[in-house]
Amino acid sequence: MIQKTVLLILLLLPSLAWADLEADVSALAKGGIVYVADAEGQSVLNIAGERSFIPASTLKVFTCVLADEHLGMDSRFETRFFLEGDRLIVRGGGDPFLVSEELDAVVAALAEPLGDRALSGVFIDDSWFEAGIVVPGVGGSEEPYDALNSATAVNFNTINVRVDGSTVTSAEEQTPLTPLAREVALRRGVKGKLRVNLSNDPGEVRRYAAELIAEKLRGAGRTVGAEVGDATATGEPIYVHRNSRTLGEVCAGLLYYSNNYIANQVFLAIGAHVHGAPASLEKSVRVATAFIDSNPDLAGLVVTEGSGISYENQATASAMIGALALFEPHKGLLRQKGGTPNKTGTLKVTKTVVGYLDTKTHGTVRFVISLDGSGSNRRWQIIDLLRDRL
Note the pLDDT of residue 15. 53
282 SS3 class: helix
Angle at CA 105, nearest 5°, toward 150 and 183? 50
Note the pLDDT of residue 339. 87
* b/e code 201-229 from CB counts within 10 Å (16+ = b): ebebbbbbbbbbbbbbbeeeebebeeebe
Give the torsion through C-alpha atoms of 275, 281, 285, 288, to 10 deg: 70
Of the candidates 50, 228, 30, 219, the one whose C-alpha atom is nearest the C-alpha of residue 126 is: 228
Of the candidates 279, 276, 273, the one whose C-alpha atom is nearest the C-alpha of residue 135 is: 279
Note the pLDDT of residue 13. 45
Note the pLDDT of residue 140. 77
**Other C-beta atoms lying within 10 Å of the C-beta of residue 151:** 30
124 SS3 class: strand
CB 261 within 8 A of CB 147: yes
Of the candidates 60, 26, 55, the one whose C-alpha atom is nearest the C-alpha of residue 254 is: 60
Rounded to the nearest angstrom, the gap between the alpha carbon of residue 155 and the centroid of all alpha carbons in its chain is 14
AA identity, residue 343: K
Of the candidates 150, 187, 189, 137, the one whose C-alpha atom is nearest the C-alpha of residue 312 is: 137
pLDDT block averages, 10 residues each, the chain of length 390: 53 55 95 96 94 98 98 98 97 97 98 96 97 88 85 95 95 97 94 92 96 98 96 96 97 95 97 98 98 97 97 97 97 93 97 97 96 96 95
**Side-chain half-sphere of 29: how many Cα atoms within 13 Å?**
23
Altogether, the residues listed in the chain come to a count of 390
276 Cβ partners below 8 Å, 6+ apart? none
Q: Give the H/E segment covering residue 81.
A: strand 78-84
Rounded to whole angstroms, how far apart are CA atoms 28 and 48? Answer: 13
Rounded to whole angstroms, how far apart are CA atoms 212 and 388? Answer: 52
CB 311 within 8 A of CB 326: no
CB 304 within 8 A of CB 310: yes
Note the pLDDT of residue 12. 47
CB 239 within 8 A of CB 113: yes
Looking at residue 181, the DSSP 8-state letter turns out to be H
Note the pLDDT of residue 17. 53
Give, in order, the Cα–Cα distances in Å from 345 to each of 57, 179, 259.
4, 37, 11
Note the pLDDT of residue 20. 86
Of the candidates 150, 124, 149, 152, the one whose C-alpha atom is nearest the C-alpha of residue 233 is: 124
Q: Which domains does the chain have, with CATH numbers?
A: 31-72+252-389 (3.40.710.10), 78-244 (no CATH)
The dihedral through the CA atoms of 341, 343, 346, 351 has a sign that is: negative
- The residues with which 123 forms a beta bridge, in sequence order, are 89, 229
Angle at CA 265, nearest 5°, toward 262 and 270? 130
Rounded to whole angstroms, how far apart are CA atoms 230 and 127? Answer: 10
